[in-house]
């Protein structure tokens, strides 16, 4: 569906993921626990030097006789893109190779014992609520250096390095403990998602101010619609993200940067306090506590039934719910409304970043094959295949040209275009300090349910951040 003033697909492809973002997650869309972090420097990884082969078609010296094992998080993107696109391209390049494919939503449960035992997959798509602690894995020497991958000749043009085919945010966010260890593969938009068709039928518009937001809440309540909801089970981090990005809207991106850098007093400063207070008040007046007992899929179905107006999530939701979207529903993105009269970022600022992280196991049986698998993912054919399967964009420049894109993604692209340079940076502490992020999701449920006050939330989060800052066993990261 095309709306008046909507940007063209060609404009979308130029602007959505293929310009430098003032954003970036250090560890992808979702982060959870693997093993305990350490303060030690990362152990040296086995060499995967480009000198292994002078052949630009096989720069890592891949041995087709060596099997390759790939583990994929089968969430919103499912795993068809891996089985039917990337793995098939690998088999085509290395005839006779055997690929073991494993798809799961329990990354930590399945992989943690294997990393401890030394029996690891070669490629890991580390996402989902059980995703593993990359900082801890890096400190233990489990992650292969991806610098050879970024410096390798690209599949599409051997005269061009892989790094020069990617949006710059990939390279900015590949580093953990000072090394290039993570490939973030997708471009994502996180904001408030709603049903454009419902809004059109009611004559509603996306609110630009908090007063307009609450006024819409009053209108929705009359019709039995909850203004805002998030999943209290298996998804409270959606609301933690929302609070963080609201704090950035109020206080600027420095608020997020200071949180990531464990700056003293940042959790109790005005931007965070105002953000938590605003959303806690929305929940108290317009929310429904029943959603604290629902998971993300159940909550998303409620929105498809027009029982929820706004839902805080990322652009993967459209593919995740594709089979359930009714004819009267069309996903669209709404920026966070102005919270105060003096927000540091203007209305229209949205969060745009790279995510869905992939790593190669340094201690796996076939790290050369792992690097080559990622190089194939970063080819235009590999990236275009991902977009065709998932209706989401990758970080590969121009790879989605000609692919039919869904309405929600076009809406997100239009919102990014309108935001210009007002892009909210992504919090990286979710991957850097797993303990802090997990604690934050617990405290988010508590404050939103009214079991603690916003002031108590801020105090508790600051204390946890201070404890982590003082813990010498936890490797510290920094950003600017």
Instruction: Find the CATH number of the domain harbouring 241.
Output: 3.40.190.10
Is residue 408 within 8 Å of 189, Cβ to Cβ?
no
Over residues 292-302, the pLDDT tens digits come to 999 999 999 99
Same domain, 268 and 161: no
Instruction: With respect to residue 63, please indicate whether it lies within any of the assigned structural domains.
Output: yes
- Whether 113 and 183 map to the same domain: the answer is yes
Q: Residue 102 has which token pair? A: 């494993």
Closest to 111 (Cα-Cα) out of 30, 33, 25: 33
Quote the CA–CA distance of 193 and 480 in Å, as a whole number: 29
* Residues 365, 328 share a domain: no
Query: What's the pTM value of the predicted model, to 2 decimals?
Result: 0.78
The DSSP 8-state label assigned to residue 71 in this structure reads E
Q: Assess whether 151 and 243 both reside in one domain.
A: no
Q: Are strands 68-73 and 123-125 parallel, antiparallel or unpaired?
A: parallel
CA atoms within 13 A on the CB side of 237: 20
Domain-embedded: residue 135: yes
Do both 129 and 155 map to the same domain? yes
345 pLDDT more than 90: yes
Confidence of residue 353 (pLDDT cuts 50, 70, 90): confident
The per-residue pLDDT for range 120-154, each reduced to its tens digit, is 999 999 998 888 988 889 999 999 999 999 999 99
> In this structure, is residue 376 part of a structural domain?
yes
What's the token pair of residue 422?
């007002």
Whether the CB-CB separation of 152 and 296 falls below 8 Å is answered with no
Hunting for tokens 């981090």 — which residue is that? 237
Note whether residue 412 is domain-resident.
Answer: no
Q: Do 158 and 269 belong to one domain?
A: no
Q: Do 286 and 183 share a domain, yes or no?
A: no
Check residue 156 and give its pLDDT. 97
Position 476 in a domain: no
State both tokens at 255.
Answer: 């608020």
> Residue for token digits 């009359």?
222
Reference 87, options 385, 438, 467; nearest CA is 385
Amino acid 340: pLDDT: 97
My answer on whether 266 and 142 are in the same domain is no
Q: Are residues 40 and 115 in the same domain?
A: yes
- Expressed as residue numbers, the domain containing 292 is 194-349+428-470
331: helix, strand or coil: strand
Q: Average pLDDT of 26-47?
A: 36
Domain count, the chain: 2
Task: Establish if 12 belongs to a structural domain.
Answer: no
The answer to whether residue 270 scores a pLDDT higher than 80 is yes
- 229 lies in the same domain as 270: yes
Report the largest interatomic distance among the alpha carbons of the chain, rounded to a whole angstrom: 69
For the chain, give the mean pLDDT. Answer: 89
- Per the domain annotation, does 417 fall within a domain? no
Mean pLDDT, residues 360-378 taken together? 97
One domain, residues 101 and 239: no
Q: Where are the beta strands (DSSP E) in 196-234?
A: 226-228
**32-36, 162-166, 357-361, 447-451: least confidently modelled range:** 32-36
51-84 residues labelled b (16+ CB within 10 A) or e (exposed): ebeeeeebbbbbebeeebbbbbbbbbbbbbbbbe
- How many CB atoms are closer than 10 A to CB 29? 27
User: Do 108 and 9 form a contact (C-beta atoms < 8 A)?
Assistant: no
- How far is the C-alpha of 339 from the C-alpha of 336, rounded, in Å? 8
Q: What are phi and psi of 187, to 5 degrees?
A: -100, 130
Phi, psi of 99 (to 5 degrees): -115, 125
Give the C-alpha separation, 116 to 105, whole Å.
20
Asked if residue 464 and residue 383 are part of one domain, the reply reads no
Q: How high is the pLDDT of residue 53?
A: 62
Q: Quick one: DSSP state of residue 361?
A: B
Would residue 9 count as lying in a domain?
no
pLDDT in tens, 52-101: 567 899 999 999 999 999 999 998 899 999 999 999 999 999 999 999 99
Instruction: State how far the Cα of 358 lies from the Cα of 183, in Å rounded to an integer.
Output: 5
């Amino acid at each position: 569906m095309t709306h008046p003033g909507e940007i063209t697909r060609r404009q979308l492809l130029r602007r959505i993921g293929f310009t430098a973002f003032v954003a970036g997650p250090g560890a992808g869309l979702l982060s959870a626990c693997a093993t305990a972090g350490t303060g030690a420097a990362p152990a040296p990884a086995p060499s995967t030097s480009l000198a292994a082969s002078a052949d630009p078609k096989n720069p890592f010296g891949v041995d087709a006789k060596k099997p390759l094992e790939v583990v994929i998080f089968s969430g919103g993107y499912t795993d068809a893109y891996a089985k039917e696109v990337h793995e098939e391209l690998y088999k085509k390049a290395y005839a006779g190779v055997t690929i073991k494919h494993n798809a799961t939503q329990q990354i930590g449960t399945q992989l943690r014992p294997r990393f401890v035992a030394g029996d690891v997959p070669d490629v890991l798509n580390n996402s989902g609520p059980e995703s593993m602690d990359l900082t801890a894995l890096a400190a233990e020497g489990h992650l292969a250096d991806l610098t050879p991958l970024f410096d390798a000749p690209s599949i599409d043009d051997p005269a061009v390095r892989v790094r020069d085919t990617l949006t710059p945010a990939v390279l900015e966010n590949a580093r953990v403990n000072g090394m290039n260890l993570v490939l973030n593969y997708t471009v994502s938009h996180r904001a408030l998602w709603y049903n454009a068709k419902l809004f059109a039928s009611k004559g509603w518009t996306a609110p630009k101010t908090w007063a307009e937001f609450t006024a819409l809440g009053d209108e929705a309540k009359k019709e039995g619609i909850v203004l805002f909801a998030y999943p209290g089970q298996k998804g409270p981090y959606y609301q933690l993200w929302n609070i963080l990005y609201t704090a950035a809207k109020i206080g600027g991106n420095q608020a997020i940067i200071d949180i990531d850098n464990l700056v003293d007093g940042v959790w109790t400063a005005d931007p965070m306090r105002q953000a938590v207070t605003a959303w806690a008040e929305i929940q108290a007046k317009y929310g429904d506590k029943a959603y604290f007992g629902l998971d993300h899929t159940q909550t998303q179905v409620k929105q498809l039934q027009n029982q929820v107006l706004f839902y805080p999530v990322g652009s993967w939701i459209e593919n995740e719910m594709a089979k359930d979207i009714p004819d009267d529903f069309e996903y669209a993105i709404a920026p966070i409304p102005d919270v105060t009269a003096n927000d540091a970022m203007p209305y229209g600022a949205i969060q745009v970043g790279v995510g869905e992280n992939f790593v190669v196991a340094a201690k796996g049986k076939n790290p050369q094959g792992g690097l080559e698998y990622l190089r194939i993912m970063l080819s235009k054919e590999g990236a275009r295949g991902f977009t065709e399967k998932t209706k989401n964009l990758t970080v590969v420049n121009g790879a989605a040209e000609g692919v039919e894109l869904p309405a929600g993604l076009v809406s997100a692209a239009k919102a990014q275009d309108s935001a210009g340079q007002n892009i909210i940076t992504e919090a990286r502490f979710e991957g850097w300090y797993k303990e802090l992020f997990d604690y934050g999701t617990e405290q988010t449920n508590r404050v939103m349910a009214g079991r603690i006050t916003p002031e108590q939330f801020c105090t508790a989060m600051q204390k946890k951040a201070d404890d982590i800052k003082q813990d010498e066993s936890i490797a510290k990261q920094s950003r600017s």
